[in-house]
Amino acid sequence: MSGRPNLMTPELKANPYPLYAELRRNAPVSQVDPGGMWAVARYEEGMYVLKNPRLFSSAGFGLATNPPWLGGNPVSQSMGAMDPPQHGRLRMLVNHAFTSAAVNRMEPRVRAFAQEVVAKLPLEHPVDMVPAFALPVPAFVLGNLLGLDASLHSQLKRWADQLTSVTAIRPDETERQEPVRQAVADVRRYFSEVVERRRREPGEDLVSDLLRARVEGEALTDDEILAFLFLMLLGGLETTVHLMGLCVLALMEHPDVMARVRADRSLIPRFVEEVLRTGAPGHGLLRVTTEEVELGGVRLPKGARVVVLLGSLCRDEALFPNSERFDIDRPGSQLPFGHGPHFCIGAPLARLEARLAVEALLERYGGVSPGPGPVVWHRSMVVRGPSSIPALLHPA
Ligand code: HEM
């Protein structure tokens, strides 16, 4: 490795794994671009960071998602950017919407919708599997949860793409900044209207719940609710769309696995777990040091921006023998959903969505192969996944 690697180059977005392996071996805590962040590549140091919010504050997420050129971003005020104990109070309020029981109740609706989506896919004709397959189910689920208008689903994804690209834009890339500023303004306006509407006409959705909720006797402010909705757009939509896309790529790359999972559908959850581990759609976790601290033999100053490379931790040989191998027989792991106080609140929901979407796809199609054109990878520090997958579907 020569010089500081830039994690946002298209080559590294498409395949960062050889670099991660080298970082784990030779430079487990080292500076990377963009922005000279300190990248943590190994499981041991990564877990230390995630378990110690007092030293490694999630304010780092707030800093990275609201650079000076943006001029404000509600997600940087969300619970994703908070530390205990403030973080726990907000998290308690939304927890109930994400329990396994609440998620299981959604299963019949999500299954029916996934089957409808899959039935519309063309056979033996080129199709981009991201808008056609990966997006609709997560957009439907998020829309249902928040009570949003179904006609806005593809707009939600365009907004989420812009919002997650914040972490990949340099201060001098002025032409890429305007669309992001516009997206923040549009999402703010749209979600503010949703909150207003629910205040007038409360329903059985999470926004109405948040309006009714009280923390130590106090109602949440509109800004707090808005910040949470922004967080759901990034945490709930973008990651899950990426997971669906990564599932398609894994089926394409491993036809033997596809045949095995088709023959025994009870293997689908294991397949999804291995896609989560090898693809790590939640890819970089952002923190900032609250004081000078030593990590992996490296002294980090107070205020150092840190990115825990979850995608690298998920391939650490210390935890996963033969880590580069796609192997659905290995035990599943919670690691792709993070660790510590910010552990993903939507993990059961994401697993359910992926299981049902893959089930629907395998029921109807016998194979999937690359279509014309390259797979394009989304540019973001926090998530990783394809934004376009040209494919051909073959009959069962
Ligand atoms: C494949 C899908 C998903 C992956 C890989 C994923 C991954 C993650 C990870 C790694 C974190 C920890 C962030 C950190 O420590 O800084 C996180 C947090 C979070 N996720 Fe997910 N997520 C997924 C789906 C979802 C879904 C479906 C929802 C909700 C609908 C959701 C909502 C959230 C929220 C609200 C947080 C912040 C929790 C907190 O700050 O306490 N995620 N997610």
The protein residue with its alpha carbon nearest to ligand 1, atom 43, reads 344
Q: What is the mean pLDDT of residues 29-46?
A: 96
Specify whether the CB–CB gap between 37 and 283 falls below 8 A: no
**Any ligand 1 atom below 6 A from CB of 342:** yes
**Any ligand 1 atom below 6 A from CB of 279:** no
User: What angle do the packed helices 136-146 and 347-364 form, to 10 degrees?
Assistant: 140
> Is there a domain that residue 2 lies in?
no
Q: What is the mean pLDDT of residues 261-275?
A: 98
Tokens standing for 317? Answer: 């040989």
Measured CA angle at 302 (ends 316, 305), to 5 deg? 45
Q: What is the pLDDT of residues 80-119, one digit of tens each?
A: 999 999 999 889 888 878 888 888 889 999 999 999 999 9
Of all atoms in ligand 1, which is nearest to the CA of residue 286? 16
The protein residue with its alpha carbon nearest to ligand 1, atom 36, reads 344
**Any ligand 1 atom below 6 A from CB of 350:** yes
**Any ligand 1 atom below 6 A from CB of 314:** no
pLDDT, mean over the chain: 94
Per-residue buried b or exposed e for 375-392, using 16+ beta carbons within 10 Å of the residue's own CB: bbbbbbbbbbbbbbbbbb
Consecutive H or E run containing 60: helix 59-65
Peptide bond connecting 269 to the previous residue in cis, omega within 30 degrees of 0: no
Q: How confident is the model at residue 134 (pLDDT cuts 50, 70, 90)?
A: very high
Give me the amino acid identity at 156.
Answer: L
CA of 347 relative to ligand 1 center, distance in Å: 7
CATH number at residue 335: 1.10.630.10
Specify whether the CB–CB gap between 356 and 107 falls below 8 A: yes
CA of 151 relative to ligand 1 center, distance in Å: 25
Q: How far is CA 180 from the centre of its chain?
A: 18
> Is there a domain that residue 5 lies in?
no
Task: Please give the tally of structural domains in the chain.
Answer: 1
Distance CA(208)–CA(280), nearest Å, equals: 32
CA of 296 relative to ligand 1 center, distance in Å: 26
The protein residue with its alpha carbon nearest to ligand 1, atom 23, reads 239
Q: What is the pLDDT of residues 18-27, one digit of tens each?
A: 999 999 999 9
Distance CA(38)–CA(23), nearest Å, equals: 12
Distance CA(347)–CA(100), nearest Å, equals: 9
> Is there a domain that residue 3 lies in?
no
Please identify which residue in the block is written with the tokens 């516009």: 182
> Is there a domain that residue 216 lies in?
yes
User: What angle do the packed helices 347-364 and 268-279 form, to 10 degrees?
Assistant: 120
> Is there a domain that residue 21 lies in?
yes
Q: What percent of the chain shows pLDDT beyond 90?
A: 81
Q: What is the pLDDT of residues 309-331, one digit of tens each?
A: 999 999 999 999 999 999 999 99
Tokens standing for 278? Answer: 């090898």
User: What range defines the domain where residue 389 resides?
Assistant: 10-395
The torsion angles phi and psi of 202, rounded to 5 degrees, stand at -65, 150
**Any ligand 1 atom below 6 A from CB of 348:** no
Distance CA(307)–CA(287), nearest Å, equals: 6
> Is there a domain that residue 115 lies in?
yes
**Any ligand 1 atom below 6 A from CB of 361:** no
Instruction: For residue 383, give the DSSP letter.
Output: B
**Any ligand 1 atom below 6 A from CB of 60:** no
